[in-house]
């Protein structure tokens, strides 16, 4: 056992402490607290990992955990995972997330930039509670060998029985079969689309046949989006509307040319391309690129209101290689006038994609990111190509967790 003083929050939501000169990453502690912790991993020369067992000196920002089954009062191996900030007052949660993003931009992006993480506007997220609960419209429960249902314990693959799922929207919380058993099943998905009824899907681990994927409807403002029931969609009830507004506002109108070869990379079912189109009109030209064939098919239909919109099924890196290879002088000029929106996976766009985008020299980039370090790394790479960060907004789309979403605009500096 160690007595540790938590100093700051690291990327990943774990507090940083020191013991006899060694870094200790300790879960379930808040910076400024003194805790009694048990080391769980001492196999590294430079750091250890530990779990908080008891809070000796509590932060004024410590609150009763929003999920009793994830509380520090439980043994670490019995704490439900997925709500690692649920013991922290929401205002402090957002401040800690801002610190992580600001630090990442400094260390990996080479820039000092002020960051404010904003709560989702309640008007965009009906039913979501200010205490960091009631926001998840999609969640997965796992099934143990004996059929017991529950989330995994934090940082493990052990199924933990629970009596509640407070992060879920009310429709999913009511639907969750927490007291039932499902022998032979692997997982249970709960989905509450904004334009459809709440659904429970039991999976035995077998992949669903391509032709049998059910489709649901999501509503964002006045628009409807078709998306596969098991396809990607933003999890927070107000996330799609929040990002629609943020991306629309992030585009610099003075740099936007509706006739340019505008791009929506990692475009999914076309949510962000539609956001740009709603601002700049139905003659806007934009190509949405997505590797998932089903998502691309939905994007084609979802973007049908724009005569210049098209959806392409391709890996983004391969699409950019082909685009550069095939572009004639006229298309190269239209690419230089372009706005590029990109919403890459958690790992970020990466060097190859960043290099390919920069080679096309678009006027501006609007980058949507769910990982601070990946965003900062890509910002640093883009700065090497002469792009600078001009605009940054961050949103608390994952309350009671360490995750944060950011929307950044970078522009080519002539």
**Is the separation of the CB atoms in 9 and 92 below 8 Å?**
no
**Is the separation of the CB atoms in 97 and 31 below 8 Å?**
no
Q: According to the annotation, is 343 in a ligand binding site?
A: yes
**CATH homologous superfamily, domain 94-125+220-225+232-412:** Vaccinia Virus protein VP39 (3.40.50.150)
Greatest distance between any 2 Cα atoms in the chain: 68
Q: According to the annotation, is 384 in a ligand binding site?
A: no
**Is the separation of the CB atoms in 19 and 48 below 8 Å?**
yes
Task: Give the pLDDT score at 155.
Answer: 86
Domain ranges for the chain, please list them.
2-62, 94-125+220-225+232-412, 138-209
**Is the separation of the CB atoms in 293 and 257 below 8 Å?**
no
407 burial class (0-12, 13-18, 19+ CB within 10 angstroms)? buried
* Helices and strands (DSSP H and E) totals, the chain: 9, 20
Task: Give the pLDDT score at 210.
Answer: 56
| Cα separation, 178 vs 149, whole angstroms | 6
What DSSP letter does each residue of 252-305 carry, written as one string? -TTT--TTS-EEEET-TTSHHHHHHHHHH-TT-EEEEEES-HHHHHHHHHHTTT
Task: Give the pLDDT score at 42.
Answer: 77
Strand partners, 359: none
Active site residues: 370
**Which of 335, 320, 346, 353 has its CA nearest to residue 398?**
346
Mean pLDDT by 10 residues, the chain (414 residues): 95 94 95 96 84 97 97 95 97 98 97 96 94 96 96 94 97 96 95 96 74 89 96 97 98 97 98 97 95 97 95 97 89 94 97 96 97 98 97 98 98 86
| Cα separation, 247 vs 398, whole angstroms | 18
Task: Give the pLDDT score at 414.
Answer: 67
| Cα separation, 257 vs 109, whole angstroms | 28
- Topology of domain 2-62 in CATH is OB fold (Dihydrolipoamide Acetyltransferase, E2P) (2.40.50)
Task: Give the pLDDT score at 151.
Answer: 97
Q: According to the annotation, is 367 in a ligand binding site?
A: no
């Amino acid at each position: 056992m160690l007595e540790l003083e938590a100093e700051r929050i690291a990327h990943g939501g774990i507090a940083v402490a020191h013991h006899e000169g060694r870094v200790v990453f300790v879960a379930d502690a808040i910076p400024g607290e003194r805790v009694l912790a048990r080391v769980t991993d001492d196999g590294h020369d430079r750091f250890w990992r530990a779990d908080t067992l008891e809070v000796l000196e509590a932060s004024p920002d410590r609150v009763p955990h929003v999920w009793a089954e994830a509380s520090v009062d439980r043994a670490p191996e019995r704490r439900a995972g997925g709500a690692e900030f649920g013991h922290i007052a929401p205002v402090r949660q957002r401040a800690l997330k801002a610190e992580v993003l600001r630090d990442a931009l400094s260390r990996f992006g080479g820039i000092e930039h002020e960051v404010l993480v904003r709560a989702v506007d309640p008007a965009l997220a009906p039913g979501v509670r200010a205490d960091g609960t009631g926001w998840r419209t999609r969640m997965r429960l796992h099934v143990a060998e004996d059929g017991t249902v529950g989330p995994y314990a934090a940082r493990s693959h052990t199924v933990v029985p629970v009596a509640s799922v407070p992060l879920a929207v009310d429709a999913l919380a009511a639907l969750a079969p927490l007291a039932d058993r499902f022998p032979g099943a692997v997982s249970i998905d709960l989905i509450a689309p904004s334009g459809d009824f709440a659904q429970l899907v039991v999976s035995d681990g077998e992949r669903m046949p391509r032709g049998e994927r059910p489709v649901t409807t999501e509503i964002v403002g006045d628009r409807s989006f078709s998306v596969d029931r098991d396809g990607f969609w933003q999890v927070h009830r107000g996330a799609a509307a929040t990002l629609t507004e943020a991306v629309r506002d992030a585009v610099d109108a003075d740099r936007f040319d509706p006739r340019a070869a505008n791009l929506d990379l990692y475009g999914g079912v076309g949510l962000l391309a539609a956001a740009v189109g709603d601002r700049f009109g139905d003659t806007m030209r934009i190509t949405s690129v997505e590797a998932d064939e089903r998502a691309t098919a939905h994007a084609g239909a979802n973007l049908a209101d724009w005569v210049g919109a098209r959806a392409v099924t391709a890996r983004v890196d391969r699409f950019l290689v082909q685009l550069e290879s095939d572009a004639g002088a006229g298309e190269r000029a239209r690419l230089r006038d372009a706005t590029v929106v990109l919403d890459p996976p958690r790992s970020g766009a990466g060097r190859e994609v960043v290099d390919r985008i920069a080679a096309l020299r678009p006027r501006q980039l609007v980058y949507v990111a769910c990982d601070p370090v990946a965003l900062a790394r890509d910002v640093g790479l883009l700065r090497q190509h002469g792009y600078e960060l001009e605009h940054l907004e961050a949103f608390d789309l994952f309350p009671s967790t360490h995750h944060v979403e950011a929307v950044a605009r970078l522009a080519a500096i002539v």
